[in-house]
Amino acid sequence: MIQILLQNLHWNTKTLKRNELLKTPGSIDTNIYFVQEGSIRIFIEDENEERIIRFGYKENIIVSLDSFLSGKPSEFYIQALKASTVKVASKKDFYEFINSSNDNLKLWSSILEDLVLQQIEREKDLLYSSPKIRYERVLKRSPQLFQQIPNKYIANYLRMSPETLSRLKKS
């Protein structure tokens, strides 16, 4: 599925330094990103505390979906956690590609369905009060996360302290 996008859509390549921002809050971002190397996080600030909502690493699509779909500003940050390379496609190019055939429309539908299902799983994670359940759900769903992302960011994502995450990983 992703290979079709990579081969048939016009992409630019952007290299990001560690901690470099790809998107800042209050900005409109109608680009779609494909992570070639590195790791990325999407987060918001809530009362001076960062709240991570999503990660991306090799072969993941990252997008500020609210801004991409609406063309309006979003409060999300998108930031490289380590030196990263991303492919960048504009919304205009992307929509020209997906509207060029029924197969491409089906591909877009599949991508959207996947993003929605991931978001639903994320919302369910946040509803569990038990840190252990949140940890186990994410470990089962995305074991590669624990190889790609530093523990302090995973702890934030799971809404727990780094110490709690460390204890859960040991048990």
Give the pLDDT of residue 115: 86
Tell me the average pLDDT across 131-136: 94
The gap from C-alpha 166 to its chain's centroid, in whole angstroms, comes to: 23
Share of the chain above pLDDT 70, in %: 99
Distance CA 48, CA 166 (A): 24
CB contact at 8 A, 73 and 30: no
Give the pLDDT of residue 6: 75
Maximum pairwise Cα distance, the chain? 51
Tell me the average pLDDT across 24-50: 95
Residue 51 has pLDDT above 90, yes or no: yes
The fold adopted by the segment(s) 2-100 is: Jelly Rolls (2.60.120)
Residue 3 has pLDDT above 90, yes or no: no
User: What digits encode the pLDDT tens for the residues 78-131?
Assistant: 999 999 999 999 999 999 999 999 988 998 899 889 889 988 999 998 898 899
Tell me the average pLDDT across 164-169: 95
Tell me the average pLDDT across 150-154: 95
Share of the chain above pLDDT 90, in %: 81
Q: What's the whole-model pTM score?
A: 0.89
Give the pLDDT of residue 143: 92
Cβ neighbours for 76, distance < 8 A, ≥ 6 positions apart: 23, 25, 42, 43, 44, 53, 64, 66, 67
Residue 1's pLDDT band (cuts 50, 70, 90): low
